[in-house]
Structure 1
Amino acid sequence: MSKAFRLSSATICALAIVTPAAAADADHGKDIAKRWCAACHLVESGQKKASDQAPPFSTFAKMPDFDQNKLAFLLLAPHPNMPTLSLNRTEIADLADYVRTLK
């Protein structure tokens, strides 16, 4: 099998976890961002308050290697500086799709 088609089992599992059966809903993702993320991150233009310790969502979206699947996987296993999120995989996919719209 060529290198291009070899995927680790972790990658396959991650893709299966974060890829919902239906297309992601960026509008719903924006609602989730406002509810869960806006206390720390700037999640939309015009937002007045956020922590200076958390990057704006637009920063993530504009990164050259931004990938909504990578972001969704990160949200399933957040880093220590983030609180535990109680989001299901569809909500995570919606949130990641919203961030993608900020490019």
Structure 2
Amino acid sequence: MPKAFNLLVITIFEFAFVGGAAAADAVHGKDIATRWCTSCHLVESGQTNATDQAPPFAYLAKTPDFDQNRLAFLLLMPHPNMPNLSLNRTEISDLAEYIRSLK
């Protein structure tokens, strides 16, 4: 087979199967936050409907060691009134990226 065809196949393979290594998407993270988190957390400035029992996302953004691993841990920790979220790694990464963008 021609080298160009082999290169094309390898490139398609990389995009299809290594795509999880792509950069986190803060816009998608904001969509997730809006859908799942706004009833308790302040997820963006100007929002008024949140409880005082959940930390604002801007506060989390300023936490020095905040990243997707920390967020995953926070989502897994049992704490009162937290809904049972079933987010995959990409969604957690995207949500963490959105929160980090609030610094």
Is the pair's TM-score, using the shorter chain for normalization, greater than 0.5?
yes
2:91 corresponds in structure 1 to: 91
Deviation at 1:73, TM superposition (A): 3.5
Q: Over aligned residues, Cα RMSD in angstroms?
A: 1.5
Q: Is the CA contact (8 Å cut-off) linking 1:30 and 1:98 kept in structure 2?
A: yes
Q: Which residue of structure 2 aligns with residue 4 of structure 1? A: none
Alignment length, in residue pairs? 83
Question: What is the one-letter code of the residue matched to 2:56?
Answer: P
Matched letter for residue 28 of structure 2: H
Instruction: Indicate the SS of the match to 2:21.
Output: coil
Distance of 1:94 and 1:58 partners within structure 2: 16
SS of residue in 1 equivalent to 2:32: helix
Deviating above 4 A after TM superposition, structure 1's stretches of 4 or more consecutive aligned residues are: none
Q: Provide the secondary structure at the position in 1 that maps to 2:91.
A: helix
Shift of 1:92: 1.0
The SS at the match of 2:90 is: helix
Deviation of 1:46 after TM superposition, in Å, equals 0.8
Q: Which structure has the larger Rg?
A: 2
List per-residue Cα deviations over 1:65-94 (Å, max 9, x = no partner).
32333223432x143222110222111110
Gaps of 5+ in 2: 1-19
User: Identity over the aligned pairs, expressed in percent?
Assistant: 72
